[in-house]
Amino acid sequence: MLYFKNDYSCGAHKKVLEKLFLTNDEHLAAYGSDKYTLSAEEKIRAACGKPEASVFLISGGTQTNQVVISTCLESFEGVVSAVTGHVNAHEAGAIEYTGHKVLPLPSHEGKIDAGELKTYLADFYADESHEHMVFPGMVYISHPTEYGTIYKKKELEGIYSVCREYDIPLYIDGARLGYGLTCRESDMTLAELADLCDIFYIGGTKVGALCGEAIVFTNTNRKPPKLFLTQVKQRGAMLAKSRVLGVQFDALFTDGLYFDISRNAIDTAMLMKEMFASHGCRFYLDSPTNQQFLILENSLMEEWGKVVEFSFWEKFDDTHTVVRFATSWATTKEDVASLEAALFSK
């Protein structure tokens, strides 16, 4: 069976795994103070061009969103997100569980619009009864989005400018950040992105690690909340053996590995995209990253399902379905060739 269902089906990149092996017998400190965690944090700061940033490693993405959002918001605040944002739609209410509302904005292929954000904020403060409403205390975007789309630098500047005008931190969910930054349409480096937000996280789970996400508080605008690690512990999100995350991120941020393997996902995704296009497939939207969305006739979807695993996304109409094919850091050009052979060689 071929496998294009998602980007978290394999283990870790072999350099990551090897480092876990090589360091295994060392006695190390715990709870975030081991030397590999410290080294990883240093390398991430360097990669971000933010020597003053604070970096924290957390096991998973939903947990990361939950920890960042719930520790940064005041009790009376909620987080603004595209209605399609992961925090609004697919985290089983993890944000509300911590007492905060997700304030939905319209989604444009997964993205929010700076103008609509500004109108929303202006209307909120103009409303005479806004003290009986949930205050917008953070703006959340995902980059790339849940639909594989990315923000161009100008768009991000627009959003961040509104955030600064209203003194609201901008938080970027980078579960697939490597794929967003290395895709061909990207016009931003990691350092440029780090300048255009307050907090973001660099996803490891979907980009070469067994697990782990790296939260970056840029500190230029936003410092971590007080006693952040105590709050991480309080939310059940602290690993005793922090080395598990530290070693992995140390490997991923050595010699640009994170970006190299991200580029592989993009290269194979673009190959796959061209392949689908060459066979006349219909795309749901134009994604520049590792997630590609097709509109398939239901009967064809069923037939394809016999030879390749891919994701059901959403119903398109009574006879068609939107499906997702995803590549990852582990996908090879041979995998794409096999996919073409399996689907179109008849």
> Of residues 51-110, which lie at the interface with a copy of itself (CB under 8 A)?
59-67, 70-71, 74-76, 78, 89-94, 96-102, 104
Which listed residue (15, 28, 308, 316) binds a copy of itself by CB under 8 A?
28
Type of residue numbered 339: L
Binding-site residue total for a copy of itself (CB under 8 A)? 86
Which listed residue (330, 336, 339, 343) binds a copy of itself by CB under 8 A?
330
Closest CA to 124 of 172, 64, 76: 76
Task: Check residue 24 for interaction with a copy of itself (CB under 8 A).
Answer: yes
Residue ranges in 150-169 that form contacts with a copy of itself under rule CB under 8 A: none
Q: Which stretch binds a copy of itself (CB under 8 A): 120-128, 163-171, 264-272, 285-293?
A: 120-128
Q: How far does CA 332 lie from the centroid of its chain?
A: 22
E strand map for the chain: 2-3, 54-58, 77-82, 102-105, 135-142, 170-173, 199-203, 213-217, 282-283, 291-297, 308-309, 311-317, 320-326
Q: Could you give the CA distance from residue 142 to residue 110 in angstroms, rounded to a whole number?
A: 8
Q: Could you give the CA distance from residue 114 to residue 119 in angstroms, rounded to a whole number?
A: 9
Task: Check residue 3 for interaction with a copy of itself (CB under 8 A).
Answer: yes
Q: How far is the CB of 338 from a copy of itself (least distance, A)?
A: 13
Task: Check residue 174 for interaction with a copy of itself (CB under 8 A).
Answer: no
Residue entry with tokens 């069923």 = 302
Closest CA to 256 of 174, 205, 190, 175: 190
Task: Check residue 122 for interaction with a copy of itself (CB under 8 A).
Answer: no
Task: Check residue 334 for interaction with a copy of itself (CB under 8 A).
Answer: no
Q: Which is nearer to a copy of itself, 188 or 232 (CB)?
A: 232
Cβ atoms of 118 and 139 closer than 8 Å: no
Q: Which is nearer to a copy of itself, 48 or 269 (CB)?
A: 269
Q: How far is the CB of 66 from a copy of itself (least distance, A)?
A: 4
Q: Could you give the CA distance from residue 330 to residue 77 in angstroms, rounded to a whole number?
A: 40
Say which residues have a Cβ less than 8 Å from residue 206's Cβ, sequence separation at least 6: 7, 8, 175, 176, 179, 328
Residue ranges in 29-48 that form contacts with a copy of itself under rule CB under 8 A: 29-31
Task: Check residue 338 for interaction with a copy of itself (CB under 8 A).
Answer: no
Closest CA to 82 of 46, 108, 61, 114: 108
Q: Which is nearer to a copy of itself, 123 or 185 (CB)?
A: 123
Say which residues have a Cβ less than 8 Å from residue 119's Cβ, sequence separation at least 6: none
Task: Check residue 234 for interaction with a copy of itself (CB under 8 A).
Answer: yes
Which listed residue (124, 155, 166, 229) binds a copy of itself by CB under 8 A?
229
Which listed residue (152, 164, 233, 333) binds a copy of itself by CB under 8 A?
233
Task: Check residue 306 for interaction with a copy of itself (CB under 8 A).
Answer: no
Q: Which is nearer to a copy of itself, 104 or 108 (CB)?
A: 104
Residue ranges in 197-216 that form contacts with a copy of itself under rule CB under 8 A: 205-206, 210-211
320: exposed, middle or buried (C-beta count within 10 Å: 0-12, 13-18, 19+)? middle
Which listed residue (124, 135, 166, 316) binds a copy of itself by CB under 8 A?
135
Radius of gyration for the alpha carbons in the chain, expressed in angstroms and rounded: 20
Task: Check residue 308 for interaction with a copy of itself (CB under 8 A).
Answer: no
